[in-house]
């Protein structure tokens, strides 16, 4: 495999770096990287890996673009609201670099598909926003022996590390037990500075490129903590825990993280017994104006501020377009001790 004349033009600034050069750029071209999530962290990771010329990039995300995403997920525009993040990301990135191949998985990462997916890639980059997925990604990376580039964000602070790299520590070495669900809310509940995922995601892309090209000091057995308000950063060292031995995936990662499994109800079943339930639509107003199945309307981004408006006198069915945002809404309600039974409308209302 060689670089074409057009690729040499595209990657000129890499080629003149002694540390990368033609050899390093060929390594990038031959590399296969799977990015988990095309959200706040995934957007900058995907943009910089694409620009760098990583030959094959997998994108897995089952979510759709929401207006509240646009504050930080800069791959998307107002025109993309309601559309698949994974598909839109690949379409836009292909215009940035036509020499990159994209594998699009418009689906949720689960214990059923994780191992088979990870097997096809050299490096895994985790841009997920919940502990259940982080533990799943870690365990699947350990089982398939893949380096894992980790990033996380919380309000104004971010973290970056590299797990399972040449025998280094893993996510479980750093965090052997997950926090309780109400101890660490995600950005839909507590907010996040818009530029922060751009900074942390760029650092994740940087670590990925270093691993591929074999340059620099990789953040293995080290945790970088970045504070955007004070412009401080700390580098903490941790050791591989010899007692941590992952040989199989957990049966239920939500249960492992103390999150109750979300019960689902089909649209057909709902319509048969509609009087038994309250309905909550968490889509945007423009989506509701096009079509709805009645019920109270509170967009997901406003739910935390309007919890007292949600009825609790009956079982509550939460719905959106595909079932993704409604699942997040149920998590918010559960974390705030919602009394009524919560059900997710399976597959959404369309």
Chain segment 206-257, per-residue pLDDT in tens? 999 999 999 999 999 999 999 999 999 999 999 999 888 899 999 888 778 8
More confident residue, 42 or 301: 42
Q: Quick check: is 349 catalytic?
A: no
Tokens of 53: 């010329």
Per-residue pLDDT band at 166 (split at 50, 70, 90):
very high
Mean pLDDT of 327-338: 85
Q: Quick check: is 320 catalytic?
A: yes
Tokens of 75: 């791959």
- Mean pLDDT, the chain, rounded, equals 93
Helices marked H in 224-273: 253-256, 267-272
What pLDDT is recorded for position 89?
Answer: 98
Candidates 43, 213, 257, 320; catalytic one: 320
Q: What percent of the chain stands above pLDDT 70?
A: 96
Helices 196-213 and 42-52 sit at what angle, rounded to 10 degrees?
40
Mean pLDDT of 66-95: 95
Per-residue pLDDT band at 348 (split at 50, 70, 90):
confident
Sign of the Cα pseudo-torsion (239, 243, 247, 252, in order): negative
Per-residue pLDDT band at 306 (split at 50, 70, 90):
very high
Per-residue pLDDT band at 340 (split at 50, 70, 90):
confident
Going by their DSSP bridges, the two strands 232-237 and 222-227 should be labelled as antiparallel
CA distance 97 to 309: 47
Chain segment 13-29, per-residue pLDDT in tens? 999 999 999 999 999 99
CA distance 54 to 49: 6
Closest CA to 300 of 322, 285, 321, 283: 283
Look at residue 350 and tell me whether its pLDDT is greater than 80: no
Q: Return the number of other C-beta atoms located less than 10 Å from residue 154's C-beta.
A: 15
Look at residue 182 and tell me whether its pLDDT is greater than 70: no
Look at residue 5 and tell me whether its pLDDT is greater than 90: yes
Mean pLDDT of 178-207: 85
Per-residue pLDDT band at 259 (split at 50, 70, 90):
low
Q: Do the Cβ atoms of 99 and 10 come closer than 8 Å?
A: yes
Candidates 173, 187, 213, 257; catalytic one: 187
What pLDDT is recorded for position 260?
Answer: 58
Min mean pLDDT across 23-37, 50-64, 310-324 is at: 310-324
Chain segment 276-302, per-residue pLDDT in tens? 999 999 999 888 988 899 999 999 989
What pLDDT is recorded for position 328?
Answer: 84
Look at residue 67 and tell me whether its pLDDT is greater than 60: yes
């Amino acid at each position: 495999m060689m670089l074409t004349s057009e690729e040499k033009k595209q990657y000129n600034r890499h080629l003149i770096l002694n540390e990368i050069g033609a050899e390093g750029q060929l390594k990038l071209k031959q590399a296969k990287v799977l990015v988990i999530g095309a959200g706040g962290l995934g957007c900058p990771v995907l943009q910089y890996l694409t620009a760098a010329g990583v030959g094959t990039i997998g994108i897995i995300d089952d979510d759709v673009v929401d207006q509240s995403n646009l504050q930080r997920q800069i791959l998307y525009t107002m025109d993309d609201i309601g559309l698949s993040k994974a598909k839109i990301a690949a379409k836009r990135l292909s215009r940035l670099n036509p020499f990159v191949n994209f594998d699009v998985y418009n689906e949720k990462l689960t214990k059923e598909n994780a191992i088979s997916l990870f097997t096809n890639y050299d490096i895994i980059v985790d841009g997920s926003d919940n502990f259940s997925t982080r533990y799943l990604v870690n365990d699947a990376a350990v089982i398939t022996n893949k380096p894992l580039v980790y990033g996380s964000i919380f309000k104004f602070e971010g973290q970056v590390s590299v797990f399972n790299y040449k025998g280094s520590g893993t996510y479980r070495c750093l965090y052997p037990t997950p926090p309780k669900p109400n101890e660490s809310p995600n950005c839909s509940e507590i907010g996040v500075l818009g530029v922060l995922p751009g900074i942390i995601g760029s650092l994740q892309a940087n670590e990925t490129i270093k691993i591929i090209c074999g340059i620099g000091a990789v953040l293995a057995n080290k945790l970088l903590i970045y504070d955007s308000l004070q412009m401080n950063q700390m580098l903490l060292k941790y050791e591989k825990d010899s007692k941590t031995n992952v040989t199989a995936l957990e049966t239920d990662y939500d249960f492992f993280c103390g999150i109750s499994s979300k019960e689902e109800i089909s649209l057909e079943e709902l319509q048969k017994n509609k009087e038994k339930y309250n309905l909550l639509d968490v889509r945007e107003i423009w989506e509701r104006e096009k079509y709805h199945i009645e019920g109270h309307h509170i967009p997901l981004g406003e739910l935390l501020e309007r919890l007292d408006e949600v009825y609790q006198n009956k079982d509550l069915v939460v719905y959106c377009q595909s079932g993704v945002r409604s699942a997040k809404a149920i998590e918010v309600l559960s974390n705030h001790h919602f009394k009524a039974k919560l059900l997710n409308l399976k597959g959404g209302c369309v």
